[in-house]
Structure 1
């Protein structure tokens, strides 16, 4: 399949930020944090809970700001500017992880919080750019290729990371120094693969900037909140998305902490995450292809059903083999559900207000991920079992599937409201 320069550049950014998601959010930093906090005599269950609370807090900040940032981003030129600001904030703070002393677990959480806010804010504008780089007929495939390339790209970097960690950088430095070096490598990877996006992707749809953008953005946001009830399919999808993406993001965020609590060795845990990303690459592309053939809605319901089964399976997990099976199940549908959600939403919103609507898309998605880690953390602390924390997330997939069933297939042609 041939892609335009803009589509290729947009797809490559998924390769850039996926490295942060895999290495910082999911794989290395959670384990490193548990090690640092554990040395300060913080219990295993409390370190897992603190990681969940901090993830919820950073997400809450973006959830509050998303609609306003999205509205500002709809003015011509602003989407690119705000994307750059968010990107550089995330990159700089990720690099700052390298300089955090190994006995400062509280400072480590603070720096991570700011890097995560920058990462999530950049993704808000990046997602909205899909309406600028491709047409409705192609966004299932373009979105899926983005996530797919992201998985395989981050997996390549992860292989290098695993070699360095397992050899302590070939015996040149300590394991702790190696992990700090990994933070800097992730920073450079994120920055380098962002360059095509920064150079080639421009805002095609937008509104003329008024004299008072802040004031006008506020009024537009209030007006949209009043009128959004007229976009029944948008509201219906955001409610469904609120629930099912909660479970998805919580599983991604808490996966390594869950594995450590199960007694899975760090080397095995990292290998599972690597295989998960390799499996996710072809599976995400398959989801995109099947969505073109059978419909986006059907494939989203398929992914939701698989995630529900994952939550139930967690109740019966006892061995490392069980953790492998869980990881493969997640890899089969993680990219698909994320890519098709983005593509579905892009097809039901007005393009000139894409950033504003993606702001609401993000607030629904991000507010949901405030609830997920909190539910997981509270359940884990009350019961002392991380498995019950994962199982509790089944509720979100049940509700997401219920509301998704009530929706129509996303149209290929923009409605007259644009």
Structure 2
């Protein structure tokens, strides 16, 4: 039976439709644009530079989120932090449309990515406010699913502009690409407004008012962080899951963020890269929905294990067999089958393990594990690629992290079976 959304659930899902447009643009088009304005660089240098940019953005978010997340857990604060980071990312997305050199563009891109990813951390934490534990897998999966398919609408418009603009409008390709940032920002804004208007924080810590109250709130924030750390360390199920997540999400995020840059370094035509990643979005839509339904039947943890095992195969395929556009298309389909499921179910599985009134605080630590994993993965790709001048070895190096995550998930599954 199809899930019937409440108004708030629907508006929450729509934010995924909005932000996913920028995520897709960043994945498929921006690395190619960066390569185009960074003329004369060696392909390995471009991969390393792009990996470094991802690393810096992830590191900043990982450092900020636990503290800001704890402050956001006070009643009424979550929407304020979400709004602030959303508009930061939105404005910087528009700034990216301004002609500039490769280094200034990379700096603006990093700051825009920090705004985007930070808003998504608060958005993830909203899940505990907008739905129930029983509906969490399905709603979370629907967010990713509709995000994938919805993001293709502005993306197709952007691709049509990039390829058709020079002949129809008389604009050069770089100018057409810059206009894509404006199109994407408008789409992101349109699908965020409903959530901004309707979201209400159901769970939150009570805060003290007045000047003295503000100081107590800040002091309690740091005390709360220590309490949360202790709670995580004493909760074996939560701790093992977070350690597993730290390792396996590394592979997921790195494959997503580096796919286009890696394909370009192998000499695959940019048109083939973009179209293949567009197919990824369409494959991901039904796959994420199916994952949410299967989680209700066979268990969320089991479906996460299946997805991580598949990603081990994906990384091996990319390192040893990816040489041409055909193999890249195969990779794109495989990624589409599993990326939405593993991200959505990880988000919802974690949401059921944590106290609802401290969701942002816990999701801040969740983001630490996710973002530091991304730092480690992209940094590993950057270092190995720079040392060997072989991007394939850089991709292969993250396979170990996926295997470690898979082993930890299996351990968690056995722990739960023992307590059943």
TM range (shorter): over 0.9
CA distance in 1, matches of 2:182, 2:356: 37
Contact 1:140 / 1:340 at 8 angstroms: preserved in 2?
yes
Q: 2:112 aligns with which of 102, 111, 115?
A: 115
Distance 1:198 1:319, change over 3 A: same
CA distance in 1, matches of 2:254, 2:45: 17
Cα deviation for residue 408 of structure 1 reads: 4.4
Contact 1:49 / 1:378 at 8 angstroms: preserved in 2?
yes
CA distance in 2, matches of 1:410, 1:66: 30
Question: Given the alignment of the two structures, is residue 19 of structure 1 paired with residue 21 of structure 2, yes or no?
Answer: yes
Distance 1:328 1:171, change over 3 A: same
Q: 1:287 aligns with which of 288, 291, 295?
A: 291
CA distance in 1, matches of 2:161, 2:305: 40
Question: Given the alignment of the two structures, is residue 152 of structure 1 paired with residue 157 of structure 2, yes or no?
Answer: no
Q: 2:102 aligns with which of 73, 93, 105?
A: 105
TM-score by length of 2: 0.94
Provide the alpha-carbon RMSD of the alignment: 1.4
Cα deviation for residue 228 of structure 1 reads: 2.5
CA distance in 1, matches of 2:263, 2:317: 14
CA distance in 2, matches of 1:393, 1:374: 10
Task: Give the aligned partner of residue 82 of structure 2.
Answer: 83
Question: Given the alignment of the two structures, is residue 73 of structure 1 paired with residue 72 of structure 2, yes or no?
Answer: yes
CA distance in 1, matches of 2:322, 2:82: 41
State the Cα deviation string for residues 326-362 of structure 1 (Å, max 9, x = none). 1111110010000000010001000011110000000
Task: Give the aligned partner of residue 170 of structure 2.
Answer: 172
Q: 2:123 aligns with which of 122, 126, 146?
A: 126
**Stretch of structure 1 that moved more, 13-22 or 402-411:** 402-411
State the Cα deviation string for residues 219-268 of structure 1 (Å, max 9, x = none). 21122223322222111111010001011101111111111011111111
CA distance in 1, matches of 2:99, 2:353: 44
Q: 2:323 aligns with which of 289, 303, 318?
A: 318
Question: Given the alignment of the two structures, is residue 300 of structure 1 paired with residue 304 of structure 2, yes or no?
Answer: yes
Question: Given the alignment of the two structures, is residue 398 of structure 1 paired with residue 403 of structure 2, yes or no?
Answer: yes
**Stretch of structure 1 that moved more, 210-219 or 57-66:** 210-219
Q: Which runs of 4+ in 1 moved over 6 A?
A: none
TM-score by length of 1: 0.95
Unaligned runs of 5+ in 1: 412-418
Task: Give the aligned partner of residue 353 of structure 1.
Answer: 358
Task: Give the aligned partner of residue 188 of structure 2.
Answer: 190
Contact 2:273 / 2:325 at 8 angstroms: preserved in 1?
no
Taking the TM superposition and a 5 Å limit, the aligned residue runs for 1:364-379 are 364-379=369-384
State the Cα deviation string for residues 57-110 of structure 1 (Å, max 9, x = none). 111011111110111011000001000001000101111001142xx1110011
Cα deviation for residue 179 of structure 1 reads: 0.4
Cα deviation for residue 382 of structure 1 reads: 2.0
Q: 2:333 aligns with which of 314, 323, 328?
A: 328
Distance 1:134 1:89, change over 3 A: same
State the Cα deviation string for residues 4-25 of structure 1 (Å, max 9, x = none). 001000000000110111102x
**Stretch of structure 1 that moved more, 227-236 or 251-260:** 227-236
Unaligned runs of 5+ in 2: none
Contact 1:246 / 1:396 at 8 angstroms: preserved in 2?
yes
Contact 1:54 / 1:113 at 8 angstroms: preserved in 2?
yes
Cα deviation for residue 377 of structure 1 reads: 1.4
Task: Give the aligned partner of residue 229 of structure 2.
Answer: 225
**Stretch of structure 1 that moved more, 354-363 or 319-328:** 319-328
CA distance in 2, matches of 1:410, 1:27: 40
**Stretch of structure 1 that moved more, 361-370 or 401-410:** 401-410
Contact 1:144 / 1:340 at 8 angstroms: preserved in 2?
yes
Cα deviation for residue 405 of structure 1 reads: 1.1
State the Cα deviation string for residues 30-54 of structure 1 (Å, max 9, x = none). 110011112xx22221111011001
CA distance in 1, matches of 2:280, 2:415: 29
